[in-house]
Amino acid sequence: MANERKAIGLLLKNNPGALSRISGLFCRRNFNIDSITSSATTDPAVTRVTITIHDDETVLRQLMLQTARLEDVIEVFFLEPEHTLQRELLLVKLSATVNNRSELREIAAIYKAKIIDLTPESMVFELTGAPQKIDAFLAMLEGYTILEMCRTGITAMERGPVRVHNRKPAETLRPEPEILE
């Protein structure tokens, strides 16, 4: 289905500019990134990246093949929703008045959002959870005035056993090419 959000994971060599080369590939190939997150792993030589896109399976496979060819890429893998823990963070600032403040608190309580700032004119909520939870919370806020909003994008991890990069050094997963003299 083309409208479904799909996530892929990448393990990259922790080299300067690696993430820039990944986003450059997307740009050159006209892929639209919904979100991209990058983080350290337990191995300082490896960076983990989660990318989400809205596209069909054919485009996703093409994207994964092209990404895997980049020099800094150790591994590319599809993050199947049923086998993956996916989370993101939302910060949203809403216009708040004496009349709607209690309604907003009730909505926040249902979704377990935290109120992290309160002024006479606004409220800021923090919510962490699965992307569907974030989407549902925002849908409930449609009748209110959103002043500002930011989402981190999805970060994801597979359920079950440890990924191979956590057991082997990065250089053993994809060795550097030998230089012949």
CA dihedral 142, 37, 32, 124 (to 10 degrees): 20
Angle at 82 between CA 12 and CA 50, to 5 degrees: 20
Mean pLDDT, the chain, whole residue set: 87
Task: Look up the CATH number of domain 5-84+157-172.
Answer: 3.30.70.260
Placement of tokens 């939302």 in the chain: 90
For domain 86-155, give its CATH number from 3.30.70.1150, 3.80.10.10, 1.20.140.150, 3.40.640.10.
Answer: 3.30.70.1150
In DSSP notation, 8-54 reads EEEEEE--TTHHHHHHHHHHHTTPPPSEEEEEE-SSTTEEEEEEEEE
Pairing state of beta strands 114-118 and 155-158?
Answer: unpaired
**pLDDT tens digits for range 101-119:** 999 999 999 999 999 999 9
CA 16 to chain centre: 20
- State how far the Cα of 53 lies from the Cα of 32, in Å rounded to an integer: 7
**pLDDT tens digits for range 135-151:** 999 999 999 999 999 99
- Evaluate if residue 62 carries a pLDDT over 50: yes
- State how far the Cα of 56 lies from the Cα of 52, in Å rounded to an integer: 12
- Provide the whole-model pTM: 0.78
Domain with CATH 3.30.70.260 in the chain: 5-84+157-172
- Give residue 163's pLDDT: 60
